Amino acid sequence: MRMTDTSDLWWKTAVVYCLDVETFMDWNDDGVGDLDGLAHRMDYLAELGVTCLWLMPFYPTPDKDDGYDITDYYGVDARLGHHGDLVEILRTARDRGMRVIADLVVNHTSDKHPWFKASRSSKDNPYRDFYVWRDEPPANPADTVFPGEEDGVWELDEKTGQYYLHSFYSHQPDLNVSNPKVREEIAKVMGFWLELGLSGFRVDAVPYFLEAVTPEDPEDRDGPGRDSAADGTGDDDYSDPHEYLRSLRGFLGRRTGDGILLGEVNLPREEQVTYFGGDEADELTMQFDFVGMQNLYLSLARGDARAVAQALADRPRLPREAQWANFVRNHDELTLDKLTEEERQEVFEAFAPEEEMRIYGRGITRRVPSMLEGDPRRIRMVYSLLFSLPGTPVLFYGEEIGMGENLDVGGREAVRTPMQWSSGPNGGFSRASERRLVAPLVEGGFSPEHVNVADQRHDQDSMLAFVRTLIAQYRNSTEIGWGDVRVLDQPHTSVLAHEVAGAQGQMIALHNFGPERLTVPITVPDGTGTTRLVDLLQAGETDVAEDGSAEVVLDGYGYRWLRVVHEDSRRLL
């Protein structure tokens, strides 16, 4: 599958903003954020510059896993509102030039889902094969996704005397995606939400999802089948799991033309490429760059840019129909599993020195500002780098104002605290009593008293104003989304210098991971002749010598975005 119309590739220059409705804005004062509250904050997101809103699960749920335990794929949780409220969000977003995507969570359901309740009623129930059952656990079962949270991935069901598989929590039984009836339901779920106006999905834990398509042990699940609803033909053989992913991408394309699948694939880069669909780019549209993110924190811990520079240089080059999604924080633990044990300990010691700040032996439960001890120079340098990296930037709600976390909440929920709108009661999130809030507020130096939207909104020196500037310059520098990247040689180990260039333009970004002010010599690619470097984040410019050489001054933890301007250029900066 090849797309040629660049208007279909809107996501190449998008700004994605992830939020959990229940912690964003409470409008009916019951202590839980709701869709009505989100509707009243859409102008804020538009002013920020968001072009793609990613909604975490809003489906009916017992809420044992922050909504990822779903009881109805076609519903809206009553605490948040109803379908009419969601349609109003989609309309409001469209009117403001924003698209909306939502989580597609099809690895598992809640154990309260009607499918599972039916499946465990008897061994011959029609829904039995919607899940994975066996008489005894295998001799060498897989590890649970969350070490320490569960004893294993097989749970005995007392009524039927068989074990069911749960790769995540025991209250989240795995769906048997090798069953064609399950695949048909997944296609219907996608089709339903696309029809309401979604522009695609963020696909949860894709490798686990695809592992379910073709089990190693044929006795574990039904064999691969054929799915006329998903592929539109009924002719495809999904014995290759990637064939199934291609069928979902094809289904999405036929229904929307330009819809996206943003995949969570935390694997080595060479394996990630296969989830794009290789040269055909006909599987996932975008994937998060977990390797780049983890090496960013290693560079921050060391004050040495070489780790992130190497990760950037090692990125596989992708077809134009595929894209990396860049992020520095998300709603889960900040995983460091792709680092070596020694590297991981370096990052732990720098940013999570206390055990309560760590989880699963691989991750950190803090946000960026608290990890960097509130140092505005380092915080801004990190976000400057995020928006200058080739690809599509993804923000987690509250990053734009420098929110912290509440470690007393524990685990991954520490960063899922209510959005901080003002310094008033409950941070302006809700007028309910504090005890009724869906989650505790951040306390201490990053509490709403010190960090909130209202105080920053009209402060031109605030973090919010800075992120607005970054977004505006990113959107004006389309080569960041479309161009190729090159790490530039220069002598300072604390400095990352990279160029992004393409038909849309040429930009050089420099970021200093160290505290010392430096003069950085660089050679501008294709910079011979009459050329100058014009700053995009501040006033000023730097001359380029006839041979293409230039010297750029960087403050400690400084950052510069430099537009390469040739004498005959007519581009507006």
- Residues marked active site are found at 204, 264
Encoded tokens for 309: 């520079």
Distance CA 489, CA 509 (A): 13
Print burial letters for 253-266: b (CB count within 10 Å at least 16), e (below 16): beebebbbbbbbbb
Q: What are phi and psi of 101, to 5 degrees?
A: -120, 165
Query: 144, 167 in Cβ contact below 8 A?
Result: yes
In 3D space, the residue among 405, 417, 419 whose CA is nearest the CA of residue 25 turns out to be 419
Residues linked to residue 100 through DSSP beta bridges, in sequence order: 53
CA dihedral 84→87→92→94, nearest 10 degrees, is -170
Classify strands 16-19 and 52-55 as parallel, antiparallel or unpaired.
Answer: parallel
Residues linked to residue 532 through DSSP beta bridges, in sequence order: 543, 565
Distance CA 480, CA 488 (A): 16
Which residues contact residue 95 at a Cβ distance below 8 angstroms, ignoring those fewer than 6 apart? none
Which residues contact residue 564 at a Cβ distance below 8 angstroms, ignoring those fewer than 6 apart? 501, 505, 506, 507, 508, 524, 526, 527, 531, 533
Distance CA 378, CA 297 (A): 12
CA distances in angstroms from 136 to 50, 133, 156, listed in the order given: 50, 9, 9
One-letter amino acid at 163 equals Y
Encoded tokens for 169: 């929590």
CB atoms within 10 A of CB 539: 6
Classify strands 392-396 and 323-326 as parallel, antiparallel or unpaired.
Answer: parallel
Distance CA 364, CA 344 (A): 10
Coil vs helix vs strand at 203:
strand
One-letter amino acid at 274 equals T
